[in-house]
Structures are given as C-alpha cells and as structure tokens.
C-alpha cells in the first residue's frame, strides 16, 4: 500500500465502508485496463461487426481513457501507470492527430533541406457543397497542379474557365457526374466501370511519365453514434460491407494500371482514413496524411472538424513532403493540400 492509500485509509472511519471503496477502486481499475486493451484490439483488427465503435475518432476514446487513469491515480498509482502505458500505445498506433500535431511543432524548429532537382506536384481536394463554383475557386489559392473536386459544379464552361484561371490558360478538365479533375497537364479520360461516384484520368506529367488520378465521393456516412442501440451497430455493419464493395470496385480497376504508373486517389471518402473498408487500397497505396500530415487534419465539419473523411492516397512513385487541411469559406468541408514529389 502506497502513501496515497494510507492517507485515504485515515479519512475513512468505517471498515466496511473502506472495503467497499477498495472494491469499487479495484473494479474501476480492472475496467479501465480492459477498456484500454479492448480499444487497442478493435482499432487493430477493424472488424466489420464493430464498425460503430471504430467509426468514432480514436482521440475521443483516448480522452476517456486518460480521464480514467487520472482518477485511478488518486487511489493507486501503479495501476494508473499501467493504464497510461496502454493508452500511450493506443495513441502511438491510432491517434493520428498526435503524430500530425507533433510534426507541425517540429517543423517550427527545423527547416527541411530543399533538393532543387526533385520534381514537385501539389494536389488539392475539396467538396464543393452542392456544386458551388465559389468553393471550387478557393483551390486556386494554393497554387495546385491537380485539383480534385467533389459535389462538383456541373457546368463545364465554368469549370474550364476556372481551370484556365488556375493554370494560365492551359487548364484541362475531366467532368463526371459528381466529381471532377482539373489539371495543369494533359488529361486522358479512362472509362469507369458501372459507377458515378468517381472519375479516372491518365495525366502526362512534365517528366514525360504518366500518373493515374481518381477523384471520388463515396456514399454519405452513417452518423448514428448511439452505441447502446442494436440498430446503430447493425446499420454501421451494413454500411461497412457496402463500402468495401465500392472500394473493391476501384481496386479492381486499379489492378489494370501498370505498376510503373503511379497512382493518386483522393476526395471525399465519407469515412475516416483508417476505416476497415479501405483495406483493399492498402495493398498498393498509402494515405499520405498518415506519414506526412501536419497540424489538425480533420476536415468535417469545416467549423468543428472532428472527422478526416477527405483524404489523398498515393502509390509508389510519389513521395510526400506534407499534407494539411485548411479552412474553407464556401464549403462545409476543409480543403486538403498535398505536396508530392516524384
């Protein structure tokens, strides 16, 4: 028994009451340890049946876990340290905000070396809130080379005008039903198999090589967070299964892309980047924010960004210097700005 335990004992006159409080503390400690292990397990395996749980941002569970560790610390420091250790592991593995905020802080103290021989490519993605051209125009502020739009403006003339404004009268446009690609470089349209949720382009880069680019917007997410309701768990499970099918359709088409053509897939995924439904992409691609994200990367809602559902993924052939989310003025999503090298 440590000093804290002795102090608490002196304050409790009744032996039975003391035993009751000790039992409650023991149960609380066991539950806190079990909950930390459960979070690590579920976020590791991403089972479809537990999609309702892992849909919730990891940092929310972390805040609950840290609070429990602090409370346990008033009664038993050793157990509190064990709980904190488990949550430290959880933070390192699954709380991406901790990593991206750390990178941003490090950038303030260290200036990376610049290699003038490396080719740069800036990709900007934005959901335009029901097709507002004013939203699309905001992408010009970040000097992009490729723009991925979702809930896209549908008037081709307006989009071509915008592309010419961004790319000095040399803009190229690929307009889909709900998504669009604007490019500084020539675009070749690639037919999409049985879907209106994404457009696929082959773009010739200044180096003479080609890259495949997809702008997508998947079905809206399930918002239900009532974890005490069986219906919540059911709808999240069914939604996860349907999303796997959509992602697999994209993955199947990417199988046809030669390995020497790098890939960029970006847009409004309507699920967090670590969601289990995105596993088909991970065989060949990576969510670049996970390795180069800076700052608070969540994108919705614009004023209160809790979820990072707007993402950019790339394959081998591209390196990434940074990915950031910036507040928009005319959308309910934040912009994603990705600085690539090739």
pLDDT digits (tens, 9 = 90+) for 178-217: 999 999 999 999 999 878 899 999 999 999 999 999 999 9
The position carrying tokens 């602090």 is 70
Neighbours of 183 (CB within 10 A): 25
How confident is the prediction for the chain on average, in pLDDT? 93
Banded model confidence at residue 54, pLDDT cuts 50, 70, 90: very high
6: exposed, middle or buried (Cβ count in 10 Å: 0-12, 13-18, 19+): exposed
- For residue 214, CA distances in Å to 9, 21, 71 come to 65, 59, 48
Tell me the sheet residues that pair with 146: 123, 183
Banded model confidence at residue 130, pLDDT cuts 50, 70, 90: very high
pLDDT of residue 117: 74
What size, in residues, is the chain? 342
Banded model confidence at residue 332, pLDDT cuts 50, 70, 90: very high
**Contact status, residue 87 vs residue 37, Cβ threshold 8 Å:** no
Neighbours of 2 (CB within 10 A): 10
- pLDDT tens digits, one per residue of 238-263: 999 999 999 999 999 999 999 999 99
Domain ranges of the chain: 3-94, 119-341
Q: Closest by alpha carbon to 181, among 141, 153, 142? A: 153
Mean pLDDT of 92-120: 87
Distance CA 227, CA 233 (A): 7
pTM of the predicted model as reported, rounded to 2 decimal places? 0.91
Banded model confidence at residue 2, pLDDT cuts 50, 70, 90: low
pLDDT of residue 112: 66
pLDDT above 80: residue 138 = yes
pLDDT above 70: residue 8 = no
Distance CA 307, CA 339 (A): 21
pLDDT above 80: residue 11 = no
**Contact status, residue 125 vs residue 266, Cβ threshold 8 Å:** yes
Candidate CATH numbers 3.10.310.50, 1.10.579.10, 1.10.443.10, 3.60.10.10; the one for domain 119-341 = 3.60.10.10
pLDDT above 70: residue 339 = yes
- pLDDT tens digits, one per residue of 149-158: 999 999 999 9
């Amino acid at each position: 028994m440590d000093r804290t335990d002795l102090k608490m004992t002196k304050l409790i006159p009744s032996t039975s009451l003391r035993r009751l409080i000790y039992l409650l503390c023991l149960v609380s400690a066991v539950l806190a340890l079990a909950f930390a292990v459960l979070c690590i397990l579920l976020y590791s395996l991403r089972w479809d049946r537990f999609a309702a749980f892992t849909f919730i941002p990891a940092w929310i569970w972390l805040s609950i876990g840290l609070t429990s560790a602090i409370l346990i610390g008033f009664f038993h420091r050793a157990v509190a340290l064990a709980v904190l250790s488990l949550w430290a592991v959880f933070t390192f593995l699954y709380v991406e905000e901790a990593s991206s905020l750390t990178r941003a802080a490090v950038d303030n103290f260290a200036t990376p070396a610049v290699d003038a021989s490396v080719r740069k490519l800036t990709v900007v993605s934005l959901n335009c809130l029901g097709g507002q051209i004013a939203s699309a125009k905001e992408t010009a502020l970040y000097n992009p080379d490729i723009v991925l739009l979702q809930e896209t403006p549908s008037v081709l003339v307006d989009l071509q005008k915008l592309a010419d404004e961004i790319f000095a009268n040399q803009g190229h446009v690929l307009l889909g039903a709900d998504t669009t690609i604007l490019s500084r470089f020539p675009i070749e349209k690639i037919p999409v198999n049985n879907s209106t949720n994404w457009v696929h382009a082959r773009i010739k880069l200044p180096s003479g090589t080609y890259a495949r680019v997809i702008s997508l917007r998947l079905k809206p997410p399930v918002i239900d967070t009532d974890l005490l309701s069986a219906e919540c768990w059911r709808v999240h499970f069914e939604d996860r299964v349907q999303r796997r099918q959509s992602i697999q359709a994209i993955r199947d088409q990417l199988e046809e892309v030669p390995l020497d053509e790098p890939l960029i897939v970006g847009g409004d995924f309507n699920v967090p980047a670590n969601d289990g439904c995105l596993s088909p992409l991970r065989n060949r691609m990576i969510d670049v924010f996970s390795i180069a994200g800076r700052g608070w990367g969540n994108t919705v809602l614009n004023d209160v960004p809790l979820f990072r559902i707007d993402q950019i993924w790339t394959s081998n052939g591209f390196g990434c210097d940074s990915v950031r989310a910036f507040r928009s003025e005319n959308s309910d999503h934040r912009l994603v700005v990705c600085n690539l090298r090739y």
